[in-house]
Amino acid sequence: MTPEQLSDYNYSTFNVVLTEDALDGLFHTRIYNHQRCWMTSETDTLYLPTVVGTVGSFKYVSDWRPVPLAFEPILQPDILSNLDDMYVVIRLKEGVSMKRFLHDFRPWMNRQMRVGNLYARDLKSYNEINAKREFSSATSLYRRNLSIAVFFLVNLCLGVIGTFWLQTRTRREEVGIMLSYGATPCRIRFQLLGEGVILTTVSTLIGCFLYLQYGLSEGLNKGNSWMQTAAPCWVDNFGQHFFIVSLIIYLILLAVVLVGIYIPARRISTIPPTEALRDE
């Protein structure tokens, strides 16, 4: 059934709606076929909630991965206990602009949605409510970690670029000798860049080997057990996780090193040999 059909379904006791990954985790299939949960107690078989439908997998919170969820309908909700903080949810039709709807509906709401002491106090989009709820936890934490990571990444990249830039410039006399023996500027640049690639590759392999020992001893951080997904992605596989992250690190280092070598190498490879050997 579609979400609209599930919303209007006449639920009874012990009916549940599962996400696809929850259905896969419980029954090892993503095809809905009126499955029922059950358990045994001595010689009796107890049938528990009946699955009446499924919905697609989704994120419970924006900074999580999709997690298996089960929805239980509240057949007799206690409305009186929630009068101080009651929400009315409006589902828009397909193709209706949220921004346009909020602009047109708010004045009408202020005039028409009043009955005695009850009135509609505010109107917000679902995305705005989620953003406000997650700002103090997920959003602020993500921004803090991202800003720290970017700060250290930029500083490390500048440090590596500066080191190779200075090291390449100190080889001015060596490049002058190579030019005097007939080496072309293009060949000199390729040689210097090749040395940087070899040095970066060897250093990355040594660093990954050392970090692999730490990874094998500590393993992967699985987080809370109830947040595990029924269909794990690559970050849950140690081999794939280590390989992909190491490859990304290697590509970043390689790009930084090549930038630090190419710019000064391009300059010193085009100067006349006599000028490069003048100090000699």
The predicted-structure confidence for 9-33, as pLDDT tens digits, reads as follows 888 888 889 888 888 888 888 888 8
Q: Is the pLDDT of residue 235 over 80?
A: no
| pLDDT band per the 50, 70, 90 thresholds, residue 255 | very high
Show me where the domains of the chain are located: 1-76, 81-123, 135-276
| pLDDT band per the 50, 70, 90 thresholds, residue 225 | very low
- Mind listing the pLDDT tens digit for each residue in 166-222? 888 888 888 888 888 888 888 888 999 999 999 999 999 999 999 888 888 877 665
Q: Is the pLDDT of residue 63 over 80?
A: no
Task: Report yes or no on whether pTM surpasses 0.85.
Answer: no
Helix axes 172-180, 185-218, angle to 10 degrees: 140
Task: Give the burial string for 57-79 (b: 16+ CB within 10 Å, else e).
Answer: beeeeeeebbbbeeeebeeeeee
Q: Which residues contact 148 (CB under 8 A, 6 or more apart)?
A: none
What percentage of the chain reaches a pLDDT higher than 70?
Answer: 90
CA angle at residue 99 from 97 to 102, to 5 degrees?
105
**pLDDT reported for residue 22:** 86
Q: Is the pLDDT of residue 132 over 50?
A: yes
